[in-house]
Chain A
């Protein structure tokens, strides 16, 4: 009885996490500029990852795997904002202006875009 309950709860967590992952991916495609896309990446880094790892922990129960999964979770919680901040800073340093509302950001990066193949969009 308890086993089935736990299985159902963890299944709900896992599937909700998957749905949030897909929503984050859709946001990554549809949001208008680089800084907005950072927020979409934020969904897949936070709630999607939380739900899936917690779902797996519920399934594994008290085991070494659970400790490692929780370590992965803690590590993601500490690195995800650092990576987002570094990306935002890099965009700022390249001269992307976050205050404007353009549908497509211009390719300004003087250093970053050198050696890039020409944009195919």
Chain B
């Protein structure tokens, strides 16, 4: 069973590597943010897999918190890259619509 878990973790590492290539190539800043978002959600899965591999159940809390932080981080980075200022609001605000 451990072999299957390790293989799955390796597959996710391959996915992260592909996303990293996209993050390096760009071309626009939003392509990079998509790639970083993918790497973030895959990190959650890798931590969950490591929990199962190591048998240390407390690690699952790390995955839970990472899932929460990753989402907020992506939205924050989007807003920051768009507005250059987290306090700004109004026209062109990505939260409208």
> Do A's and B's CB atoms come within 8 Å in the complex?
yes
Instruction: List chain A positions with a Cβ less than 8 A from chain B.
Output: 7, 11, 14-15, 17-19, 21-22, 24-26, 28-29, 34, 37-38, 41, 44-45, 48-49, 52-53, 55-56, 59-60, 63-65, 68-69, 71-72, 75-76, 79-80, 82-83, 86-87, 89-91, 93-94, 96, 104-105, 107-109, 111-114, 116, 119-121
Given contacts A21-B12, A75-B67, contact A90 B30 (CB under 8 A): yes
How many angstroms from the CA of A19 to the CA of B95 in the assembled complex?
34
How many residues on chain B are close to A (CB under 8 Å)? Answer: 56
A-B residue pair count with CB separations less than 8 angstroms: 181
> CA of A24 to CA of B35 in the docked complex: distance in angstroms?
11
Interface residues of B (CB under 8 A from A): 1, 4-5, 7-8, 10-12, 14-19, 21-22, 24-31, 33-35, 37-38, 41-42, 44-45, 48-49, 51-52, 57, 60-61, 63-64, 67-68, 71, 74-75, 78, 81-84, 92, 94-95, 97
Among residues of B, the one whose C-beta sits closest to the C-beta of A79 is: B71
Q: Which chain B residues lie closer than 8 Å to A41 at the CB level?
A: 34-35, 37-38
Main secondary structure of the interface of B (DSSP, over half): helix
Q: Are B38 and A28 touching (Cβ within 8 A)?
A: yes
Cβ contact of B28, chosen from A17, A52, A63, A105, cutoff 8 A: A105
Contacting residue for A76 out of B25, B28, B29, B44, CB 8 A: B44
Q: Closest A-chain residue to B44, C-beta based? A: A72
List 14 interface pairs A-B (beta carbons < 8 Å), by A numbering: A29-B18, A41-B37, A45-B38, A59-B52, A60-B52, A68-B64, A87-B33, A87-B78, A93-B92, A96-B28, A111-B92, A112-B28, A112-B81, A119-B27
